[in-house]
Amino acid sequence: MLAPDRILRVTIELIFILLGGLVAWLALRGRILVDRHGKMWLILSIVLILWGLRVLYKPGQWWTRWENCTRGLSLALLGALMLAITRVPFAWVGPLLAAGGAVLALRGIIGSALIFKPR
């Protein structure tokens, strides 16, 4: 049986897998409309990049190093994708949003594997 803290972490990773799959599916079907030239989109992308870099450089326990690395890289990459969406032609917005969903799903899969890895 898993400890309660590991069950919570696995549940959070499962939410990321489902969220990433939903975003990728909706983006590929053309059902997501975003104001990619708005100020809030730009602010959110910059905040995600900075938050990801903060997670990467924040000191933590040595046994959670890979989990923190996965979280930080996924946040920074998602922020960079969102920042790129503001500058690409409209035809590329759907595939880039789908790539963002894939980043979230991959983060959840890798995070779950790291949680189940024996210490």
Taking the chain (119 residues) in runs of 10, the rounded mean pLDDT of each run is 87 96 94 89 96 88 81 96 94 94 96 86
**Predicted pLDDT at 8:** 94
**Predicted pLDDT at 108:** 96
**Predicted pLDDT at 58:** 80
Which runs of consecutive H residues, i.e. helices, occur in the chain?
4-29, 39-57, 65-85, 93-116
CA 83 – CA 30 distance, rounded (Å): 19
Q: Amino acid identity, residue 103?
A: V
**Predicted pLDDT at 117:** 83
Q: What is the pTM of this model?
A: 0.89
**Predicted pLDDT at 14:** 96
Q: Which of 81, 90, 102, 86 is nearest to 22 (CA)?
A: 102
8-state DSSP, 86: T
CA 52 – CA 68 distance, rounded (Å): 9
